Amino acid sequence: MSRPILSLAFLFLCFSNATAVPQRAVFDFDGDNRTDYAVVRSASNTWNWYLQQSSAGFKSQPWGLSGTDFLVPGDYDGDMKWDIAVWRQGTFYILQSSNEALRAVPFGQAGDDPKVTQDFDGDGKADPAVTRNVGGTLTWYVQRSLLGFMAVTFGNATTDFGTRGDFDGDGKADVAVFRKTTSTPAQTYYVLRSSDGGLQVQTFAIFSGNAVFPADFDGDGKTDYAIWLNTNAGWYWVNSSDNSFHVLAFGLAFADVAVPGDYDGDGKTDHALWRDSTGIFYVQGSISGFMAVPFGTSGDVPAANNLQVH
């Protein structure tokens, strides 16, 4: 199978000079700065969360309605541990890890996409956020815990979807979209940098079957542009530290889903997959090497894929 071609014509407007802030591991439910294995299972219209924490061990928790709720975990209380959370048609329901208490936050409305919830103001807390189609444009609504409400129109609601990441390394999530279309330019990231308001653009060549999951693979504190192609199990990404393009063949085509995270705790995102047929996580750790971890059963939802990957 021919390999998709990456456009090396990078377009960077208004370069940011911000000093990069190290990114903490995603899906770290026990606070040791390592990504934990997490799957969510539907039973009797309930989401049942199963966590294999790297330091605190196994945990199970029923939380949310599987028929209606979006999975939106994050560190909402700022204790450096991710909280189990769902969004139900206009309300975030958060199980705070700091005190095991329910926190309900009304925000958004039916039809919104809540999977862009991140820390937009740099205070160490995930901020409730949604994107919404407003007259054909993509509008971001964010309730920042430190700086208050923010509304930003950025993106085309027909061709774009919101994506996650801190692309300029200032410790604040950036408003960013990926444009998945056959028009020109196609398969393109558009980032509105929080550090200076500048626009940053990265175009990949046109191909189908790709999953979009920006992550920090080189450990420089800046999110890197990345795509996983399920037709050939190929990982394609550009390191922000030197703009170098990388390709890695890892996984089985049409059988695996990407679950990127920092599983070995070295500050770099590891290439990782979950295989539904076997219920096994396969991780190519940047320092730990290859790991195969049985966790979950066929039909489960790997949380890292559900939230991060489009």
Domain-located, residue 4: no
Is residue 20 scored above 90 in pLDDT? no
∠ CA 95-96-97, rounded to 5°: 115
Domain-located, residue 213: yes
pLDDT band at 7 (very low <50, low <70, confident <90, very high): very low
Tens digit of each residue's pLDDT (9 = 90 or more) over 198-224: 999 998 765 666 789 999 999 999 999
Domain-located, residue 282: yes
Domain-located, residue 1: no
Tens digit of each residue's pLDDT (9 = 90 or more) over 111-120: 999 999 999 9
Rounded to the nearest integer, the mean pLDDT of the chain is 92
Is residue 2 scored above 90 in pLDDT? no
For residues 272-289, give the mean pLDDT: 97
Say how many domains are in the chain.
1
Domain-located, residue 171: yes
Task: Give the lowest-confidence range in 22-26, 94-98, 165-169, 170-174.
Answer: 22-26
Tens digit of each residue's pLDDT (9 = 90 or more) over 225-259: 999 988 888 999 999 999 999 999 999 999 999 99
For residues 264-288, give the mean pLDDT: 97
> Residue 143's domain spans which residues?
11-308
Domain-located, residue 100: yes
Identify the CATH number of the domain in which residue 117 sits.
Answer: 2.120.10.30
Domain-located, residue 47: yes
With beta carbons less than 8 A apart as the criterion, state whether 72 and 52 touch: no
For residues 167-195, give the mean pLDDT: 90
